[in-house]
Amino acid sequence: MAHRRAVTDATRILIKVGTSVVTQPDGTFALGRLGNLVEQIAELRKKSKEVIVVTSGAVGQGIQVLRRNTSKSADPTNTTFDPRACAAAGQSGMMALYEALFAQKSISCAQVLLTDDDFKSPTRRETLKGTLNGLLKLGIVPILNENDVISERKTPLRDESGAIFWDNDSLAALIATEISADLLLLLSDIEGLYNKRPDDPDARVIGLYRRKTEIIVGNKSRVGRGGIEAKIQAALSAAETGIAVVIASGYGRNTILDLMDGHNIGTLILKSTYIDEQEGPEVITQRTKAASAVLRALSSDERSKILVEMSTQIKNNTGKILEANKKDIETAEKYGTSASLIARLKLTPEKIQSLAVGILQIAQAVDPVGRIISANQLADGLLLTQETTPLGVLLVIFESRPDAVPQLAALAIKSANGLLLKGGKEAQHSNQILHQILGQAIVTATNGKLSSDVIGLIQSREDINVLLSFEKDINLVIPRGSNKLVRDIQNATKIPVLGHSEGICHIYVHSDADIQKSIRVITDAKLDYPAACNAVESLLLNKELIDDDRAFTILSALHAAKIELCATPEVLSYASSRGLTLRPLVLSFHHEYGEPFLTVSFTDDFDTAVRHINEFGSSHTESILTESVEVAKLFQNRIDSACVFHNASTRFADGFRFGLGAEVGISTNRIHARGPVGVEGLLSTKWKLTSTSPEGDVASDFTVGKKKWLHVPMNPAKL
Amino acid sequence: MAHRRAVTDATRILIKVGTSVVTQPDGTFALGRLGNLVEQIAELRKKSKEVIVVTSGAVGQGIQVLRRNTSKSADPTNTTFDPRACAAAGQSGMMALYEALFAQKSISCAQVLLTDDDFKSPTRRETLKGTLNGLLKLGIVPILNENDVISERKTPLRDESGAIFWDNDSLAALIATEISADLLLLLSDIEGLYNKRPDDPDARVIGLYRRKTEIIVGNKSRVGRGGIEAKIQAALSAAETGIAVVIASGYGRNTILDLMDGHNIGTLILKSTYIDEQEGPEVITQRTKAASAVLRALSSDERSKILVEMSTQIKNNTGKILEANKKDIETAEKYGTSASLIARLKLTPEKIQSLAVGILQIAQAVDPVGRIISANQLADGLLLTQETTPLGVLLVIFESRPDAVPQLAALAIKSANGLLLKGGKEAQHSNQILHQILGQAIVTATNGKLSSDVIGLIQSREDINVLLSFEKDINLVIPRGSNKLVRDIQNATKIPVLGHSEGICHIYVHSDADIQKSIRVITDAKLDYPAACNAVESLLLNKELIDDDRAFTILSALHAAKIELCATPEVLSYASSRGLTLRPLVLSFHHEYGEPFLTVSFTDDFDTAVRHINEFGSSHTESILTESVEVAKLFQNRIDSACVFHNASTRFADGFRFGLGAEVGISTNRIHARGPVGVEGLLSTKWKLTSTSPEGDVASDFTVGKKKWLHVPMNPAKL
Q: Is the pLDDT at B311 greater than 60, yes or no?
A: yes
Q: Where are the alpha helices (DSSP H) in B249-338?
A: 255-260, 281-297, 300-316, 318-334
Closest partner residue to B517 among A525, A648, A695, by Cβ? A695
Q: Percent of chain B at pLDDT above 90?
A: 59
* Distance set, CA A174 to CA A132, A526, A713 (Å): 13, 64, 75
pLDDT at res. A56: 83
pLDDT at B221 (0 to 100): 35
Q: In chain A, where does the domain assigned CATH 3.40.309.10 lie?
A: 505-664
Instruction: Flag whether pLDDT at B183 surpasses 50.
Output: yes
Q: How confident is the model at residue A272 (pLDDT cuts 50, 70, 90)?
A: low
Closest partner CB to A520 (pick from B514, B696, B713): B696
* Residues on chain A touching B384 (C-beta within 8 angstroms): 658-659
Looking at the predicted structure, is the pLDDT value of residue B218 above 50?
Answer: no
Q: Is B388 on the interface with A (CB under 8 A)?
A: no
> By the CB < 8 Å criterion, does B542 face chain A?
no
Please name which of B398, B644, B390 lies closest in space to residue B505, comparing C-alpha atoms: B644
pLDDT band at B341, cuts 50/70/90? confident
Secondary structure letter of residue B262 according to DSSP = T
User: B22 to each of B18, B26, B32, how far by Cα in Å?
Assistant: 6, 12, 9
Q: Which residue has the higher pLDDT, A501 or A598?
A: A598
Neighbouring-strand partners of residue A674: none
For chain A, where do the domains classified as CATH 3.40.605.10 start and end? 281-382+392-492
Residue B226 pLDDT > 60: no
In a mutagenesis test of the A interface, which of B253, B640, B698, B708 is the best target, namely the one with the most A β-carbons within 10 Å? B698
Q: Which residues in chain B (638-657) have CB-CB distances under 8 A to chain A?
A: 638, 640-649, 651-653, 657
- Contact between B505 and B525 (Cβ < 8 Å): yes
Residue A475: predicted pLDDT: 95
pLDDT tens digit string along A241-253?
A: 999 999 999 999 9
Task: Give the model's pLDDT for residue B427.
Answer: 92
pLDDT of res. A263? 84
- Give me the residue from A297, A518, A657 closest to B637, CB to CB: A297
Q: What is the mean pLDDT of residues B663-669?
A: 86
Reported as a pLDDT band with limits 50, 70 and 90, residue A405 is very high
What's the rounded Cα separation, in Å, for the pair B143 and B63? 21
Which part of chain B is CATH 3.40.605.10?
288-368+390-492
| Range(s) of chain A covered by CATH 3.40.1160.10 | 5-274
Percent of chain A topping pLDDT 90: 59
Does the beta carbon of B315 lie under 8 angstroms from any beta carbon of chain A?
no
Q: Is the pLDDT of residue B637 over 50?
A: yes
Position A190 pLDDT exceeds 70: yes
Which residues touch B66 (CB under 8 Å, ≥6 apart)? B81, B85, B86, B89
- Could you tell me the CA-to-CA distances from A84 to A60, A63, A81, A93, B455 in Å, in that order? 11, 10, 9, 15, 69
Q: State the pairing for strand pair A141-146/A109-114.
A: parallel
pLDDT tens digits for A52-99?
Answer: 999 987 776 777 677 766 654 445 555 567 777 777 778 888 888 999
Q: Residue A3 pLDDT > 90, yes or no?
A: no
A-B C-beta contacts closer than 8 Å: 293
What pLDDT is stored for residue A224 in this prediction? Answer: 38
Which residues are CB-neighbours of A10 under 8 A, at least 6 positions away?
A49, A181, A182, A183, A244, A260
Q: What is the pTM of this model?
A: 0.76
Alpha-carbon span B20 to B171, nearest angstrom: 17
Q: Does position A326 have pLDDT exceeding 80, yes or no?
A: yes
Query: Shortest CA distance to B4 belongs to which of B464, B337, B332?
Result: B464
Residues 6+ apart with CB under 8 A from B703: A528
| Nearest CB to B378; choose among A29, A97, A657 | A657
Question: Which residues of chain A lie closer than 8 angstroms to B634, CB-CB?
Answer: 297
**Higher-confidence residue: A479 or B78?**
A479
Q: Name the band, by pLDDT with cuts 50, 70 and 90, for residue A443.
A: very high
Q: For A325-334, A643-652, B45-54, B68-77, which range has the lowest pLDDT when averaged over its residues?
A: B68-77
Of A38, A643, A689, the CB nearest to B652: A689
* CA-based nearest distance A267→chain B, Å: 24
CB B429 within 8 A of CB B328: yes
Beta strands, E only, A11-158: 12-17, 50-55, 109-114, 141-146, 157-158
CATH architecture of A281-382+392-492: 3-Layer(aba) Sandwich (3.40)
Query: How large a percentage of chain B has pLDDT more than 70?
Result: 90
Give whichever of A495-499, B157-161, B221-225, B600-604 has the largest mean pLDDT.
B600-604
pLDDT at residue number B518? 97
The mean pLDDT value of chain B amounts to 88
Question: CA torsion, points A90, A91, A92, A95, in degrees to nearest 10?
Answer: 120
Looking at residue B669, its pLDDT comes to 87
Q: Residue A219's pLDDT is what? A: 42
Question: What is residue A276's three-state secondary structure?
Answer: coil
Query: At residue B186, what are phi and psi to the nearest 5 degrees?
Result: -105, 100
Query: What is the Cα–Cα distance from B11 to B3, expressed in whole angstroms?
Result: 16
Specify the pLDDT at position A270.
Answer: 87
- Report the distance separating Cα A415 and Cα A300, nearest Å: 10
A114 touches chain B (CB under 8 A): no
> Is the pLDDT higher at B517 or at A264?
B517
CB-based contact (8 Å) between B518 and chain A?
Answer: yes
Please list, in sequence order, all residues whose beta carbon lies within 8 angstroms of the beta carbon of residue B81, skipping any fewer than 6 positions away.
B62, B63, B66, B67
What does the alpha-carbon distance between residue A479 and residue B214 come to, in Å, rounded to a whole number? 39
B27: phi then psi, degrees, rounded to nearest 5: 95, -15
On chain B, the residues whose CB falls within 8 A of the CB of A558 are none
The reply to whether ipTM tops 0.85 is: no
Domain A505-664 CATH superfamily: Aldehyde Dehydrogenase; Chain A, domain 2 (3.40.309.10)
Cα B79 to the center of its chain, rounded Å: 46
Predicted local distance difference test score (pLDDT) of residue B699: 94
Residue A6 Cα to chain centre, angstroms:
21
Res. A113 pLDDT band, cuts 50 70 90: confident
C-beta pairs of A624-630 under 8 Å, 24+ apart in sequence: A624/A507, A624/A508, A624/A510, A625/A507, A625/A508, A625/A509, A625/A510, A625/A513, A625/A514, A625/A517, A625/A518, A625/A521, A625/A522, A625/B696, A626/A510, A626/A512, A626/A513, A627/A512, A627/A513, A627/A514, A628/A510, A628/A512
Name every chain B residue with its beta carbon within 8 A of the beta carbon of A688.
Answer: 636, 643-646
Please tell me if residue A202 touches chain B, with a CB cutoff of 8 Å: no
Output B324 or A213, whichever has higher pLDDT. B324
pLDDT score of B502: 83
Q: What is the pLDDT of residues B352-377, one digit of tens each?
A: 999 999 999 999 999 999 999 999 99
Given a cut of 60, is residue A275 above it in pLDDT?
no
Neighbours of B643 (CB within 10 A): 30
Mean pLDDT over A183-204 rounds to 80
Q: At B661, is the pLDDT very low, low, confident or very high (cuts 50, 70, 90)? A: confident
> Residue A120's pLDDT is what?
76
> What is residue A147's DSSP assignment?
-
Q: Which of A454, A132, A164 is nearest to A288 (CA)?
A: A454
Q: Work out the pLDDT band at B1, boundaries 50, 70, 90.
A: very low
Q: Which of B687, B692, B702, B703 to mutate to test the interface with A (most CBs of A within 10 A)?
A: B687
Q: Name beta bridge partners: B347.
A: none
Residue type for B408, please? L
Bigger pLDDT: A302 vs A281: A302
Contact between A81 and A71 under an 8 Å Cβ cutoff? The reply is: no
CA distance B333 to B312: 31
Q: CATH for B288-368+390-492? A: 3.40.605.10
CATH 2.60.120.380 fits B5-274, yes or no: no
3-state secondary structure of B147: coil
Q: Which chain A residue is nearest to residue B644, measuring alpha carbons?
A: A688
The CA distance from B465 to B451, in Å, is 26
- Per-residue confidence (pLDDT) for residue B718, from 0 to 100: 83
For residue B219, pLDDT over 50 is answered with no
Record: fold of B505-663: Aldehyde Dehydrogenase; Chain A, domain 2 (3.40.309)
pLDDT, tens only, A128-162:
899 999 999 999 999 998 776 666 555 555 555 55
Q: How confident is the model at residue B563 (pLDDT cuts 50, 70, 90)?
A: very high
Mean pLDDT of B38-60: 90
Interchain CB distance below 8 Å, A659 and B378: yes
| Four-residue CA torsion sign, B601, A289, A656, A539 | negative
CB A266 within 8 A of CB A244: no
| pLDDT grade for B151, boundaries at 50, 70 and 90 | low
Q: What is the mean pLDDT of residues A369-379?
A: 94
Q: Check CB contact under 8 Å for A31 and B104.
A: yes
Of A179, A134, A163, A133, which Cα lies nearest the Cα of A14? A179
- pLDDT at residue B227, rounded to an integer: 61
Neighbours of A287 (CB within 10 A): 17
Of A316-325, A546-555, B77-86, B614-623, give the lowest mean pLDDT range. Answer: B77-86
Average pLDDT, chain A: 88
Strands A382-390 and A372-379: antiparallel
pLDDT tens-digit series, residues B264-296: 889 999 886 555 545 678 788 989 999 999 999
Give the rounded percent of residues in chain A with a pLDDT score beyond 70.
90
Task: Report d(CA B473, CA B287) in Å as an integer.
Answer: 10
Round to whole Å and give the CA distance between B2 and B12: 20
Q: How many CB atoms lie within 10 A of CB B328?
A: 25
